[in-house]
Amino acid sequence: MAQLLTEAEIQDLANNLSGWTVEGSKLCCQRNFKDFLQAMEFVNKLVEPAESAGHHPDIEISYNKVRITLTTHDAGGLTQKDFELAKEISQIS
């Protein structure tokens, strides 16, 4: 199982990850799109990296807004897997 990160590690990793915030034991990012269709097109692009990583975001869709939350459920908090997947998601437009 992936190791939980320390507070210092989390802050260090978060400082090098733009567009995401640390909220408790979660990494959060919100993306805004023109409309629902574009929001869903983006959400569908998350499937491949998540499946490849064997690590999955929690996704909340509200019309053209997509809120992505990452945490390692098996570990009960933030691990390297969350930051690695967040970096990949940041590359998706």
Ligand X SMILES: C[C@H](O)[C@H](O)[C@H]1CNC2=NC(N)=NC(=O)C2=N1
Which positions lie near ligand X, rule CB under 6 A? 54-56, 71-74
Give 38 or 43: the residue with its C-beta nearer to ligand X: 43
CB of 46 to ligand X, least distance (A): 12
Give 31 or 55: the residue with its C-beta nearer to ligand X: 55
Buried b (16+ CB within 10 A) or exposed e, 41-53: ebbeebeebbeee
CB of 52 to ligand X, least distance (A): 12
Nearest to 3 by CA among 63, 65, 85, 72: 72
State which amino acid sits at residue 51.
Answer: E
Phi-psi region of 17 (alpha: psi -120 to 50; beta: other; left: phi over 0): beta
CB of 20 to ligand X, least distance (A): 14
Which position's Cβ is nearest ligand X? Answer: 74
Give 39 or 82: the residue with its C-beta nearer to ligand X: 82
